[in-house]
């Protein structure tokens, strides 16, 4: 009888569900027990020595940093103007992957952030663009739009945001599952999509900037019903208004900068509220011209300073990295992208922003050293895409570059389809380099949708500045193993992508009558958009440089090896062994 009782106790108690109440016993956040260095095997006279595997002692905190629109050559060009504590520390102490590629298109912010953290591409994680078009409903869909959500700490459509449209797990999701929900996973960015997508569908919180005359960080009901006190305290500091009353001038002497062009040149777009794209810049005038709106914060270095301040507040407020359960903080610096679009990669303003960002990174790393402990955390820094030089600048340098009139392209497609099937406006939607055809006209003329797509693609290919045009029917049924079509296919999802996808010649952007031909863009499968830096530093990381080609989808698997968790479910990549200590 005693043996039976012991067996019952062994099977049913004291763990699991309370027999009387039926309530689940929920785990509490607590430090993991230390593993003994040596354990004597039962029944032996000798002592065997065991050493914990690397994944059994993961970092206390993983910090993922995305610098929006960063090219690798910025590190090379600006190197001598960087201080010792930011980019140079990452390279000097960690692993520099110098040839990382996005092997899909379109290369935009939302797909980039989703791909970094899922280890997959848009064809599987579903974030095919910042702004999508849903074929079944004929309606637009913003990448993190969720009409069922509402703002917490902020009002309006800016609060109707969540990861609901993400169709694959991120490394943050897998960390939450690995630790039974004890990890804290936080996303921080000015852009909503840049804070939401990295931490996936089960992350603890994402915070982004709600613009307006007040300007503050907030979230949505997907994550919580009330802001934590530390977020309220942060917002009460009124930092945006303070930053927008300061001027912006060069941090270093002017002769230290790598200027290919005069500061005042025809290839840069003046920021709203300014007359010329030059420094010093009267930020206060921009602020007043904008009706005292905080929108100008997007475009100036103070936007990155603000992001760092909030990240530091999150580290303190959430006590990240303060126990043996690994936490994750995803930070995205967006001002580099907002300014880069306006002025292009050769502007002195952009170099000054990166010099100041270097100081922000040093400040962040110093805080992590102090709060978490040097060697107790892991940093991964990369970019969501890069960017092309201003085509007008390249063209004036006798390069093969320029602009493709989008109305001409649509006109060619409409003319070809009207001649073949019947009159009408066949192209009903264009988003970037994708076109949607009219289902109404297809039904009216009894046309085969696949044939309509092929006629449209042939019309696009008749333009000398179109490298390729691929139909949705071909992308859905064929497998492309190399070249442009492989990249386009890996960024394609039938229900969220166009009827025809096309690629312009290198260094060509979409144009239209009357445009200024200033500033830059990104989105193509060409190397100036796909080539980004990756830097690892800290716990589990060796000191090395890797020059072989690495895919952006390899980053999440590498983090999984360091954290000792499962790979995200749609991962296509593999760990980078040279990085792992």
Handedness of CA 21, 25, 26, 30 (dihedral sign): positive
Mean pLDDT over 54-64 rounds to 93
Domain range list for the chain: 63-390+523-579, 395-511
The share of the chain scoring above pLDDT 90, in percent, equals 88
**pLDDT value of residue 56:** 85
pLDDT category of residue 7 using cuts at 50, 70 and 90: very low
Q: What is the residue-wise DSSP string for 222-289?
A: TT-SS--HHHHHHHTT-HHHHHTTS-B--SS-GGGS--SS-SS-TTSPPPTT-SSS-SSB-HHHHHHH
Average pLDDT, the chain: 92
pLDDT category of residue 43 using cuts at 50, 70 and 90: very low
The pLDDT tens digits for 515-540 are: 999 999 999 999 999 999 999 999 99
Do residues 490 and 104 lie in contact, with contact meaning Cβ atoms separated by under 8 Å? yes
Do residues 342 and 517 lie in contact, with contact meaning Cβ atoms separated by under 8 Å? no
Closest Cα partner for 109 from 74, 145, 66? 66
Strand partners, 65: 331, 381
pLDDT category of residue 64 using cuts at 50, 70 and 90: very high
CATH no., domain 63-390+523-579: 3.40.720.10
Mean pLDDT over 215-243 rounds to 98
The share of the chain scoring above pLDDT 70, in percent, equals 91
Residue 261 has pLDDT above 80, yes or no: yes
Mean pLDDT over 490-516 rounds to 96
Phi, psi for residue 51 in degrees, rounded to 5:
-120, 130
3-state DSSP call for residue 115? helix
**pLDDT value of residue 48:** 59
Q: Which of 55-59, 98-102, 124-128, 480-484 has the lowest mean pLDDT?
A: 55-59
Measure the CA–CA gap between 307 and 329, rounded to whole angstroms: 12
Q: Of residues 42, 54, 107, 109, which has the active-site annotation?
A: 109
Residue 19 has pLDDT above 80, yes or no: no
Mean pLDDT over 223-243 rounds to 98
DSSP state of 202: T
Residue 456 has pLDDT above 50, yes or no: yes
3-state DSSP call for residue 562? helix
Handedness of CA 52, 56, 61, 62 (dihedral sign): positive
3-state DSSP call for residue 388? coil
Q: For residue 119, give Cα distances in angstroms to 299, 340, 365, 485.
A: 29, 26, 25, 20
Mean pLDDT over 304-329 rounds to 98
Domain 395-511 annotated CATH 3.30.1360.150:
yes
The pLDDT tens digits for 203-213 are: 999 999 999 88
Q: What is the pTM of this model?
A: 0.91
Please give the radius of gyration of the chain, using alpha carbons only, rounded to the nearest integer. 26
Mean pLDDT over 308-312 rounds to 98
**pLDDT value of residue 15:** 32
The pLDDT tens digits for 273-295 are: 999 999 999 999 999 999 999 99
**pLDDT value of residue 49:** 65
Measure the CA–CA gap between 307 and 68, rounded to whole angstroms: 13
Measure the CA–CA gap between 552 and 100, rounded to whole angstroms: 6
DSSP state of 371: I
The pLDDT tens digits for 150-191 are: 999 999 999 999 999 999 999 999 999 999 999 999 999 999
Residue 17 has pLDDT above 50, yes or no: no
pLDDT category of residue 51 using cuts at 50, 70 and 90: confident
Handedness of CA 231, 536, 110, 135 (dihedral sign): negative
The pLDDT tens digits for 20-42 are: 333 333 333 444 344 333 334 44
**pLDDT value of residue 136:** 85
pLDDT category of residue 14 using cuts at 50, 70 and 90: very low
Closest Cα partner for 401 from 286, 560, 511, 258? 511
3-state DSSP call for residue 63? strand
Residues sharing a CB contact under 8 Å with residue 1, sequence separation 6 or more, in sequence order: none
Mean pLDDT over 301-310 rounds to 98
pLDDT category of residue 260 using cuts at 50, 70 and 90: confident
Closest Cα partner for 188 from 331, 338, 360, 380? 331
Mean pLDDT over 242-270 rounds to 95
The pLDDT tens digits for 333-344 are: 999 999 999 999
Q: Pairing relation of β-strands 531-538 and 95-101?
A: antiparallel
Measure the CA–CA gap between 152 and 217, rounded to whole angstroms: 10
Q: Catalytic: 307?
A: no
The first and second tokens of residue 316, run together, are 């303190």
């Amino acid at each position: 009888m005693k043996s039976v009782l012991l067996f019952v106790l062994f099977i049913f108690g004291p763990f699991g569900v309370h027999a009387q109440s039926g309530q689940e016993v929920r785990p509490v956040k607590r430090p993991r027990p230390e593993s003994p260095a040596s354990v004597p095997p039962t029944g032996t006279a000798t002592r065997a020595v065991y050493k914990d595997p690397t994944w059994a002692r993961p970092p206390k905190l993983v910090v993922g940093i995305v610098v929006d629109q960063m090219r690798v050559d910025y590190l090379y060009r600006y190197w001598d103007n960087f201080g010792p504590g930011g980019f140079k520390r990452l390279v000097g102490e960690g692993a520099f992957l110098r040839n990382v590629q996005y092997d899909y298109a379109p290369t935009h912010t939302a797909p980039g952030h989703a791909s970094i953290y899922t280890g997959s591409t848009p064809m599987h994680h579903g974030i095919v663009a910042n702004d999508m078009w849903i074929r079944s409903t004929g309606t637009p869909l913003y990448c993190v739009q969720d009409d069922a959500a509402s703002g917490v700490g902020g009002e309006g459509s800016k609060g109707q945001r969540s990861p609901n449209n993400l169709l694959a797990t991120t490394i943050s999701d897998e960390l939450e599952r690995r630790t039974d929900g004890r990890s804290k996973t936080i996303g921080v960015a000015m852009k909503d999509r840049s804070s939401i997508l990295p931490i996936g569908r089960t992350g603890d919180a994402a915070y982004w900037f709600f613009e307006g005359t007040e300007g503050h960080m907030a979230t949505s009901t997907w994550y919580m019903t009330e802001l934590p006190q530390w977020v309220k305290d942060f917002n009460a500091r009124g930092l945006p208004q303070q930053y927008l009353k300061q001027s912006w001038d060069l941090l270093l002497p002017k002769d230290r900068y790598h200027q290919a062009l005069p500061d005042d040149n025809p290839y840069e777009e003046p920021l709203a509220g300014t007359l010329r794209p030059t420094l010093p810049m009267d930020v206060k005038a921009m602020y007043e011209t904008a009706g005292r709106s905080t929108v100008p914060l997007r475009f100036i270095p103070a936007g990155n300073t603000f992001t760092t301040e909030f990240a530091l507040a999150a580290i303190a407020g959430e006590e990240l990295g303060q126990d043996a359960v690994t936490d994750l903080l995803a930070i995205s610096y967006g001002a580099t992208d907002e300014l880069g679009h306006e002025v292009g990669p050769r502007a002195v303003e952009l170099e000054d922003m990166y010099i100041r960002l270097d100081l922000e990174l040093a400040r962040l790393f110093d805080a992590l050293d102090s709060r978490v402990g040097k060697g107790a955390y892991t940093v991964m820094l990369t970019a969501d895409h890069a960017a092309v030089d201003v085509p007008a600048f390249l063209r004036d340098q006798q390069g093969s570059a320029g602009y493709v009139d989008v109305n001409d392209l649509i006109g060619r497609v409409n003319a070809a389809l009207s001649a073949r099937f019947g009159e009408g406006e066949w192209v009903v939607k264009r988003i970037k380099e994708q076109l949607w055809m009219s289902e109404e006209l297809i039904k009216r003329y009894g046309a085969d949708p696949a044939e309509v797509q092929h006629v449209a693609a042939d019309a696009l290919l008749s333009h000398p500045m179109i490298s390729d045009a691929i139909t949705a029917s071909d992308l859905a049924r064929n497998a492309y193993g190399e070249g442009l079509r492989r990249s386009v296919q890996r960024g394609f999802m039938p229900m969220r992508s166009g009827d025809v996808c096309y690629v312009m010649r290198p260094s060509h952007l979409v144009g239209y009558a009357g445009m200024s031909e200033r500033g830059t863009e990104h989105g193509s499968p060409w190397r100036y958009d796909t080539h980004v830096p990756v830097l690892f530093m800290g716990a589990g990381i060796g000191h090395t440089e890797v020059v072989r080609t690495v895919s952006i989808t390899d980053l999440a698997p590498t983090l999984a090896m360091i954290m000792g968790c499962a790979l995200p479910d749609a991962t296509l990549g593999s760990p980078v062994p040279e990085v792992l200590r």
